[in-house]
Structure 1
């Protein structure tokens, strides 16, 4: 199983936990994963400083990946991303709802342009429904699903210690 994805290229416009977890599984299986970060970097870089001054979550989720910093508000940087996607096998993204579409990289459009491309979009509340336009964080999903209500103590509900919803979504 190890390196079973050797020769596969993944372009991941990702941040935080869910998409980075998904692409990390692909990297662990031998895929080349190119992580696209915004100019200020993935905000998971600043979760803590536990691993030699770096975020434990960031190191765990992004080991074995290449990282490219792009400002997708700039045409030149969108052209770089387009070139990367054109030669990729898999495209993953988990930006806030509507963001990637505004930049011209919606999965449906990419699949029309690159029919062999496998796409994956991760969102907290899906593509339809009353909450589909909302950003989601693990704590919000834990609370909305009732998970916080079954954890905690006499003082009240509490978040599960790890980002279990984001990890499950990425898996």
Structure 2
């Protein structure tokens, strides 16, 4: 029995934000009905595949039921209403206005089921100048300022490695839905949640964009302490063309490393302003890290109290003993799952459930 056992969720969303929200609920015992078009959720067809299903699809849709409906038909709409009548949560990820035109906007749904918590997830929200602007993750990151600091030494922004706007919206949506469910216990009524990928990203810049938040200058990576301007929060190439990072700027780490490298004269630079004032220290570290391979540095740092990490690819990362020790990748029925990051004391080891075949439940 999970923490959310007994809750019923109807999820019309696709791709990342909504399915991530609802799979975290399913992992905790909620009954999630995934309502798909007759052609199926597009991520079902996204390679690579394992044990007959897309790895992407399985990891975001395990433990759910699947109902395939044509919401432009009377039969499809009637079937969705039947699900809504029994639901605690309704999730949709259409562009603003689409679900209302289908007859399932919040007003219509809440008038029929006043206790429902209704969550809309979109790129820029249900209202505002950008509400109807089409966008996936990278375009949202670009509009929110984040892509400007996802740049290399030449200042050229690069495609981000993580779909941060998608995932921020999923996490924000989950938090909001759970808050609304707690609120329902007091009021007896559900609520409406307007989750925007754009809105969900903005709080993530408070530590880097303070001046811009206050109306001043934007951060520039080369001179910002968390974006590449600080020697001890930076990426360094090694002798074998791989990379390592220093990931902690505390002076104790600066002293520990520079003393071990017989350069105590450079310790004071670790407290200098990021950018040009740390250029000498950055240059020294670039030179020194090129003298050994990545794995040689891993061995060298083993007995040093320094915030250091090798840059691993995903295959290397998933092979780390830490993954096995914490049970973060679980294999079942020939399929690999990323285990839920939310855990509770006293729980049994997590066992993945299967992802539904299209229309398996109606």
The Cα shift of 1:29 comes to 1.3
The aligned residue for residue 100 of structure 1 is 99
- For residues 121-160 of structure 1, the aligned pairs below 5 Å read 121-153=120-152, 154=154, 156-160=156-160
Cα separation, 1, equivalents of 2:2 and 2:57: 22
User: Where does the alignment leave 5 or more consecutive residues of structure 1 unmatched?
Assistant: none
- Corresponding pairs, count: 170
CA deviations on 1:43-67 (whole Å, 9 max, x unpaired) are 2223322434533321111111111
CA deviations on 1:131-158 (whole Å, 9 max, x unpaired) are 1122331121111112222124348212
Cα separation, 2, equivalents of 1:83 and 1:164: 35
More displaced stretch, 81-90 vs 156-165: 156-165
The Cα shift of 1:88 comes to 0.8
- For residues 4-153 of structure 1, the aligned pairs below 5 Å read 4-52=3-51, 54-153=53-152
**CA spacing shift, 1:150–1:25, aligned 2, 3 Å:** same
Question: Is the CA contact 1:36–1:69 (under 8 Å) kept in the aligned structure 2?
Answer: yes
More displaced stretch, 59-68 vs 150-159: 150-159
Q: Whose RCO is larger (CA < 8 A, sep 6+)?
A: 1
Cα separation, 1, equivalents of 2:72 and 2:165: 30
Cα separation, 1, equivalents of 2:114 and 2:103: 16
Question: Is the CA contact 1:107–1:121 (under 8 Å) kept in the aligned structure 2?
Answer: no
Aligned to 1:11, the other structure's residue is in SS state: strand
The Cα shift of 1:161 comes to 1.4
Question: Is the CA contact 2:96–2:125 (under 8 Å) kept in the aligned structure 1?
Answer: no
**CA spacing shift, 1:152–1:41, aligned 2, 3 Å:** farther
CA deviations on 1:63-82 (whole Å, 9 max, x unpaired) are 11111111111111111001
Question: Is the CA contact 1:73–1:103 (under 8 Å) kept in the aligned structure 2?
Answer: yes
Cα separation, 2, equivalents of 1:121 and 1:69: 20
Cα separation, 1, equivalents of 2:13 and 2:127: 21
The Cα shift of 1:13 comes to 0.6
**CA spacing shift, 1:53–1:141, aligned 2, 3 Å:** farther
User: Where does the alignment leave 5 or more consecutive residues of structure 2 unmatched?
Assistant: 172-362
The Cα shift of 1:102 comes to 0.7
Cα separation, 2, equivalents of 1:166 and 1:100: 20
Question: Is the CA contact 1:142–1:159 (under 8 Å) kept in the aligned structure 2?
Answer: no
Structure 1 residue runs of 4+, over 6 Å off? none
**CA spacing shift, 1:64–1:78, aligned 2, 3 Å:** same
**CA spacing shift, 1:159–1:51, aligned 2, 3 Å:** farther
The aligned residue for residue 163 of structure 2 is 163
**CA spacing shift, 1:139–1:70, aligned 2, 3 Å:** same
Cα separation, 2, equivalents of 1:119 and 1:108: 10
Aligned to 1:10, the other structure's residue is in SS state: strand
